[in-house]
Amino acid sequence: MRSTSLCLMLCSTLLSGTVLAENQTISLQQAYSPYFSVGTALSERQIRDQEPGTLDLVKQQFNVLTAENIMKWEAIEPVEGQFNFAAADAMIEFAEANNIKVIGHVLLWHEQTPAWVFQDAKGQPASKELVLSRLTNHINAVMGRYKGRIQGWDAVNEALNEDGTLRQSNWYKALGEDYIATVFEIAHKADPKAELYYNDFNLFKPEKRDGVLKLVAALKAKNVPIHGIGEQGHYSLDYPELQQVEDSIIAFGKTGLPVMITELDISVLPFPDPENIGADISLNMQLKQEFNPYAAGLPKAVSDQLSNKYLQLFELFLRHSNVVQRVTLWGVNDNQTWRNDWPMKGRTDYPLLFDRKNQPKEVVPKLIKLAEKAGK
């Protein structure tokens, strides 16, 4: 088995031009498969195979995929009733041809959703009935098309404030506080076999974590079909503390739901506004060179810190693999990562496991060894 996969890897390595360490015999997803699946997010360019070598690398290293953008509302239904399915179709076909699972991202979010969803024909706030019918049509169309082909959906994304209270988003304003339950109900009807997740960032923060626990308890009390909790995992060398991540995994595990780390990346750059750590995509700060220290390359000492943080996190995930079902990196390589442009456009960040040329960083074989040493 191992020698077959070694041969397969060497063959595809030669084809894709990816150089793997000499002593690396199996891939990330193979090493971690007894514990949890290892995923990545693909940009539209990657899905359309316009980035050399990436899809070959993805086939080797990952066994579950999320679309970074192309299944969000603004991309898949930019105009009411007009759906752009081509890119999502292509990603799902690629995944199926290569025995890779697919996660849908995302059914409901206050970001990357067109303004028309919340407006009537006169440009006034749309009625509750109108917004609800648009939401139902959207979910039925998208989930209906991919019924049976998607393992699970991020059903609701980022519905909570940092203090754990409900965000007063357009969704909340239009539909009232029960809207989260409504989304899960509609989605479950559309594809009863798809898992449905609540997904958010900064869930290591005790107040926000407790907000999720309250939400999950309320949904479960009403028998709302929720099947997992997604912790995005947009981290940095400076945060979060490992203990906080561990506490959140343990607390979520007690609900009986599995935990998914859904969007892992570790920025090596200074975060310009410590009050706003996390992943609020509306942040757009002015570029200042003092916040972009590694444009010419990453010093070895910092790259070692990055390796250590990845190793510590994966060690933690392995220890809690009875709860952690999946770990998805938010991107394949440092060229693609959104962290180059958030919270400030135009920086050079290094938050992923493969570098700008799709070469594995030195931490990749170490992560593989870590899983092998765990012994299953």
Q: Does position 198 bind ligand XIL by CB under 6 A?
A: no
Nearest distance from C-beta of residue 235 to ligand XIL, angstroms: 12
The C-alpha atoms of residue 237 and residue 265 are separated, in whole angstroms, by 10
Q: Which residue in the set 68, 195, 231, 334 belongs to the binding site for ligand XIL (CB under 6 A)? A: 68
Residues 6+ apart with CB under 8 A from 35: 317, 318, 321, 324, 371, 374, 376
Q: Does position 334 bind ligand XIL by CB under 6 A?
A: no
**Any catalytic annotation for residue 246?**
no
Nearest distance from C-beta of residue 117 to ligand XIL, angstroms: 17
Q: Name the residue among 98, 23, 14, 15 with its Cα closest to residue 61.
A: 98
Amino acid type, 140? N
**Helix, strand, coil percentages for the chain (3-state, nearest 5):** 40, 15, 40
Which listed residue (68, 158, 185, 195) is catalytic?
158
Between 35 and 184, name the residue whose CB sits nearer to ligand XIL. 184
Amino acid type, 169? S
Between 252 and 338, name the residue whose CB sits nearer to ligand XIL. 338
Nearest distance from C-beta of residue 94 to ligand XIL, angstroms: 19
Q: Name the residue among 97, 105, 29 with its Cα closest to residue 67.
A: 105
Nearest distance from C-beta of residue 370 to ligand XIL, angstroms: 27
Helix (H) or strand (E) holding 187: helix 179-190
Q: How many residues bind ligand XIL (CB under 6 A)?
A: 8
Residue with tokens 């290569």: 98
The C-alpha atoms of residue 267 and residue 234 are separated, in whole angstroms, by 8
Between 260 and 370, name the residue whose CB sits nearer to ligand XIL. 260
Of 11-50, which residues contact ligand XIL (CB under 6 A)? none
Q: Does position 157 bind ligand XIL by CB under 6 A?
A: yes
358: region left, alpha or beta (phi > 0 left; psi from -120 to 50 alpha): left
Q: Which residue in the set 232, 236, 248, 325 belongs to the binding site for ligand XIL (CB under 6 A)? A: 232
Nearest distance from C-beta of residue 222 to ligand XIL, angstroms: 25
**Any catalytic annotation for residue 290?**
no
Contact assessment for residue 199 and residue 106, using Cβ atoms and an 8 Å cutoff: yes
Q: Does position 69 bind ligand XIL by CB under 6 A?
A: yes
The C-alpha atoms of residue 289 and residue 200 are separated, in whole angstroms, by 30
Whole-number Cα distances in Å, 194 to 44, 152, 153, 296: 23, 5, 7, 45
Whole-number Cα distances in Å, 263 to 18, 138, 154, 337, 351: 24, 24, 11, 11, 11
Q: Which residue in the set 338, 347, 353, 370 belongs to the binding site for ligand XIL (CB under 6 A)? A: 338
Q: Does position 335 bind ligand XIL by CB under 6 A?
A: no
Q: Which residue in the set 90, 141, 281, 302 belongs to the binding site for ligand XIL (CB under 6 A)? A: 281
Nearest distance from C-beta of residue 216 to ligand XIL, angstroms: 18
Catalytic residues: 158, 263
Q: Interface residues with ligand XIL (CB under 6 A)?
A: 68-69, 157, 232, 263, 279, 281, 338
